[in-house]
Amino acid sequence: MKLPLITKRTRPFYPRDHKCPICSKYVGEPDSFLCFSGGAMKQIEPNFYSMDDDLFGFLDINFHGAHDFGKGKYRDAFLMKHIVEHSACGQFEIYFCSTSCFRKFMNMMIDDLEEELSGGKKKNKSDVISSKNKKQ
């Protein structure tokens, strides 16, 4: 699966073809589905908020390795996986046909992150790594 799923050049929802990104089943009304959404709202007045073109939404998974006297794996490593990058109006939605497929998606993201941290997979252009030593 190519990341990021949503960018400033796409609409703020994924998948655009209404097929579950995991199993390719139809996702949408009138059927049940899971919507993973996020965003920001601009305060216009007290207790009144609205979407705004000046806002950009994002969703990342970051790994921050131990440094200085800290403990943990992958010392001095930093890895960022961009799932949503610069979403229009600060809003985004990612659709799945079921909780099971959403869980598989999240597990895939973590598995991919761990594989890159261990040196088993090449970095994507959207990933950021700075590491003095990726050893455990």
pLDDT tens figures, 73-116: 888 889 999 999 988 888 999 999 999 999 999 999 999 999 99
pLDDT tens figures, 30-44: 999 999 999 988 899
Angle, vertex CA 74, rays to CA 80 and CA 86, nearest 5: 5
- Tokens standing for residue 91: 């809003």
pLDDT tens figures, 4-57: 999 988 888 999 999 999 999 999 999 999 999 999 888 999 999 988 888 888
H helices of the chain, in order, are 99-117
pLDDT at res. 129: 38
pLDDT at res. 133: 36
Distance between CA 85 and CA 5 in Å, rounded? Answer: 8
pLDDT at res. 109: 94
- Tokens standing for residue 97: 């046909």
Distance between CA 56 and CA 114 in Å, rounded? Answer: 28
123 pLDDT above the threshold of 80 = no
Q: DSSP character for 132?
A: S
